[in-house]
Amino acid sequence: MYTLGIETSCDETAAAVLRDDKVLSSIVSSQIDIHKKYGGVVPELASREHLKNLIPIIREALASASISLTDINLIAVTYTPGLIGALLVGVSAAKAIAYAQNIPFIGVHHGEGHILAAHIEYPDIGYPYIALLVSGGHTALYHVKGLGSYQMLGQTRDDAAGEAYDKVAKLMGLEYPGGPILDKLAQEGNPMAVPFPRGLREGYDFSFSGLKTAVRNHVALFMDKDKGIAPELKIKDVASSFQAAVVDTLVTKAMLAASQTGVDKIVVAGGVAANSSLRKQLSEEASKRGMMIYLPGMFYCIDNAAMIALAGYLHYKRGERSSLDLNPRPTMPL
């Protein structure tokens, strides 16, 4: 069975082809260069770019899987959450193809796609596990009991972890997206140079806005309204200390969730799962406690359509499908 996956929820236009649960092709076209100069994603520009790129990207995914559209048996598409105009492009294309080819169509929650991305490289992972979903739009911990059974243990009360990275990078005068840039700088800095706050210590909820303000206040000490940021600001130390605060919080809460639920497997998902320090510290903590940690390869951490195709395929195999009346939704809990 061949599944075509489509993802257009934010600033990546992506299409992928699976044969059963195996990825044959996964094409991602990033719009980062377009949004960079605005310091964040401009929704209207994102929609227009998806419109321009989606069909060529689908063609490329089919060609690289060496199949044609008529071979496809199922279309899976992200329908929530995301930028409404961006989602609309993917959902409309998916519906049109499903209707024209007379094949089933299934809408996928983007967050579920991120969690299930781990199953691409670890098909035998097995349930239950704890999922730490950390991206530009989400930061949450789930007790995953099975396909479609995601008990949320906690989530961010303000910024998502990736959003905090992007905002902190912006206030330090760095480019969008800030995550990879700060990650790189952090590796050369001192994580103990600035004692930034860790946010909520109790429970499973997260809060990153206090941390962001603390970084802003620290940077302000080195800011001159005419000359900008003074060279005395130790940017690598700030990046490293900020990263230490984020990663400490994420690792502590993920480990707490695993031990309190009696689950010995942790899956990490979303763009921030690409973070080098998060990967390292989670692996170290997990091996100390005899837990398994599942880290998707970088390519499956960031937005892609293979994870969407897989989520759609797994639900379809259980007899589920969506009606062509399904409309995109900007927000929706998992």
The footprint of Zn ion (CB under 5 A) covers 135, 303
Instruction: Compute the least distance from the CB of residue 99 to ligand KG4, in Å.
Output: 28
The letter for the amino acid at 278 is: L
Q: Which does 180 bind (CB under 5 to 8 A by kind): Zn ion, ligand KG4, none?
A: ligand KG4
Instruction: Quickly tell me which residue has 């620290």 as its tokens.
Output: 218
- Contacts (CB under 6 A) with ligand KG4, residues 164-203: 165-166, 177-180, 183
Stretch near ligand KG4 under the rule CB under 6 A, chosen from 67-75, 99-107, 119-127, 132-140 = 132-140
Closer of 271 and 312 to ligand KG4 (Cβ): 271
Q: What's the CA gap between 103 and 209, in Å, rounded?
A: 45
CB under 6 A: which stretch of 96-104, 115-123, 141-149, 159-167 binds ligand KG4? 159-167
What is the smallest separation between the CB atom of 13 and Zn ion, expressed in angstroms?
13
| Residue 249 near ligand KG4 by CB under 6 A | no
In the complex with ligand KG4, the residue whose CB is nearer, 180 or 197, is 180
53 binds ligand KG4 (CB under 6 A): no
Residue 137 binds to ligand KG4 (criterion: CB under 6 A): yes
CA atoms of 305 and 60, how far apart (whole Å):
13
Minimal distance, residue 11 CB to ligand KG4, in Å: 8
What is the nearest approach in angstroms of ligand KG4 to the Cβ of residue 67?
Answer: 27
From the list Zn ion, ligand KG4, none, partner contacted by residue 274 (C-beta under 5 to 8 A by kind): ligand KG4
Task: Give the range of 142-150, 161-169, 187-195, 252-260 binding ligand KG4 by CB under 6 A.
Answer: 161-169
By CB under 6 A, tell whether 270 contacts ligand KG4. yes
CB 96 within 8 A of CB 85: no
d(CA 87, CA 79): 6
Binding site for ligand KG4 (CB under 6 A): 10, 135-137, 162-163, 165-166, 177-180, 183, 270-272, 274-275, 302-303
